[in-house]
Structure 1
Amino acid sequence: MNIHYPHTIQNTHGETLTFLAVEKGPLGDKVLVESQVTPGSGPPMHTHLRQEEELTVVSGKMAYQILGQEPQYAFPGERVLFKRGVAHKFWNAGDEMLICKGWVAPANSIVYYLSAIYAAQNKSGKQQPEAFDGAYLMTRYATEYEMPELPFLVKKAIIPLTYFIGRLLGKYKHFTDAPAPLP
């Protein structure tokens, strides 16, 4: 996938994410991001199994939560670091647009993955991605990303079955440029 920066993606439930640039570094590439989130919106609980994510609030009020902990809040100028392997979510807890800047490192497949997730959300018109695309992405990138609040039955039976049916029906041709997952 050939990405030109800045690269902006938007979903139908209030999130706009701009990948500003990629910085090369000794520990891998770091993708610089800017996030704009409408009041009440934000990504669901998720885990970056191979990456850290840091966000600095530019304007607005960000609520964030680590799985199993109480929500916390960050205000303009405050920084929040989500460590690799730690389930987390954040959302706009204010009445104005939440704007954050930050980075994800190492970059790995994050630009492709989130671009594909946002496209699948737009296809479904909901926060949940379109079923076949979601099953493909969650299966292909299972070593990099996790949705910890999905029920066990969904993760272990419904997603694999949906992925299998999608393969049989030829639903994944638009993913031919998908980067290889990390081992």
Structure 2
Amino acid sequence: AAAVAGMRDNNAILSSRDWARRDVLMQTKCAPLPREEGRPAPRPLNLVQAATVASHAWPPQSTCETLGLTALCDTVRSVAVNREVIAAVSNKNIFHMLQLYVNGIKAAGIKNSMVVALDDETAAWLKVRDVANYVKVLRSRTGDTGNHATSGLKFKVLIDFLSVGCSV
């Protein structure tokens, strides 16, 4: 692959100490790179809900109400770009890490990001910082709130997004 702006291979694995691409990231704000000549075009998304639904009517209010996902629909309706969002799942245990995530998303200019808050404390924390969020109070089977237990909850959250036709 051709190097972009003097960088090495775009597909190389970076070490945790590699800051060589930070300047490029901050310049491009995560904009797509131009497709290299001779490369195939990206495939169209396989949408759960047909693209015939007008973008201003997505996600359909009737679907949101039927599934009890009105709060999620309101959030994705306001932040999604082409029905796509980048979402983090967090609880109150890791505000310091969540702040790093929020800072990075804002610095990179990513407009279609949101956080799924697993408790009311996290939702309040996000509201103060004006971060788009959806509250889904969940507990792991063991009741643990550590990182491994919380990470496993993302699959339950994923169902909500896919049910309303959102790529996440």
Above 0.5 in TM-score? no
TM value normalised by structure 1 = 0.22
Q: Which has the higher helix share?
A: 2
Q: Which has the higher strand share?
A: 1
Report which of the two structures shows the higher radius of gyration computed on alpha carbons: 2
**TM-score, structure 2 length as denominator?**
0.24
